[in-house]
Amino acid sequence: MIWQCEIRPGPEFLLRKYFFKRTSFIAHQYYYADEECIKPVYSIVAKGSYHLQQESWRVPGGLEARHRVSEVYVIPYHHHVADHFYRLLKRFCPAMKPKLTTMEPLKKVKILQFPRYNKYLKSRRKHLMHDFDCSGLFNFTMNELQLIRLEINDNEWNDLEKNNSIDLKQDQHSQRELFLGDLHTKTKSRQSHRPTSYQTSLLDSKGLIVSWTLP
């Protein structure tokens, strides 16, 4: 499969590959320095969960969903990028100062952590002390999961609400396109943006767990 380089406001040049299994997801976003996606700069990996809800009243044909991001990692590909990220996190993310001692190319660094609540912990306050979020420094958000639409075989609709998840049991000969919500044209407004349209669709790459990439 040949991936198509995507251009986002900023501008940002990236490739996306998402994995869905039941109600969990893993998102891989690869960022490049050029519009042909030849010169890699860094990547972001996010893990979390999503739950489909009602039909969207904003965008006919779509389903609204709520999501929860539990972990986000950033992976720089060059020394100068790693040095820049290190200075950025040290200066603007106090929660990471005690933990972050260095950053190196091709090594991931966690920039968000919201672990699930453990009812067996004696104190929820103690549990929340481990939470931190520095993903905003990278203009990163998964708000695109607030709006989901799945098309099968030339506009045949899949009933996503049936299993409250992206169906993993479709005919392997069918082509599925996954549409996720749009991003705000201003990168600083992404965190609070609610999608009103879709990004370029992602195609099912037929993995053992369903994965989606740009066509």
169 vs 182, higher pLDDT? 182
Would you say residue 188 lies in a domain?
yes
pLDDT of 168 strictly over 50: no
Residue at 1 is within a domain: no
pLDDT at site 37: 94
Q: For 20-36, what is each residue's pLDDT tens digit?
A: 888 899 999 999 999 99
Establish if 136 belongs to a structural domain: yes
What does the block give as tokens for 205?
């790459």
Beta-strand pair 109-113/132-133: antiparallel
For residue 172, which of 202, 207, 200, 215 has the smallest C-alpha distance?
207
Whether residue 201 lies inside any domain: the answer is yes
Write down the pLDDT at residue 156: 46
Q: What digits encode the pLDDT tens for the residues 88-103?
A: 999 999 888 777 889 9
Q: Cα dist. 45→29, 68, 75, 76 in Å? A: 7, 14, 8, 12
Q: How confident is the model at residue 155 (pLDDT cuts 50, 70, 90)?
A: very low
The tally of domains found in the chain comes to: 1
With respect to residue 176, please indicate whether it lies within any of the assigned structural domains.
yes
The answer to whether residue 175 scores a pLDDT higher than 60 is yes
* 183 vs 189: CA distance, rounded Å: 9
Q: Where are the alpha helices (DSSP H) in 16-119?
A: 79-92
* Predicted confidence band of residue 116 (pLDDT cuts 50, 70, 90): low
Average pLDDT for the chain? 82
Q: What is the pLDDT at residue 8? A: 87
Average pLDDT of 144-170?
65
Average pLDDT over residues 30-45: 96
Q: Decide: helix, strand or coil at residue 179.
A: strand
Q: Which of 52-56, 94-98, 197-201 has the lowest mean pLDDT?
A: 94-98
CA distance 69 to 91: 24
Is residue 161 domain-resident?
yes
pTM of the model: 0.81
Read off the pLDDT band of 206 (50, 70, 90). low
Residue 158 belongs to some domain of the structure: yes
Compare 111 and 175 and report the one with higher pLDDT. 111
Could you give phi then psi for residue 105, rounded to 5 degrees?
Answer: -60, 140
42 lies in some domain: yes
Domain with 116, as residue range(s), is 6-213
Give the mean model confidence (pLDDT) for residues 188-206.
Answer: 83
User: Would the pLDDT of 124 be above 60?
Assistant: no
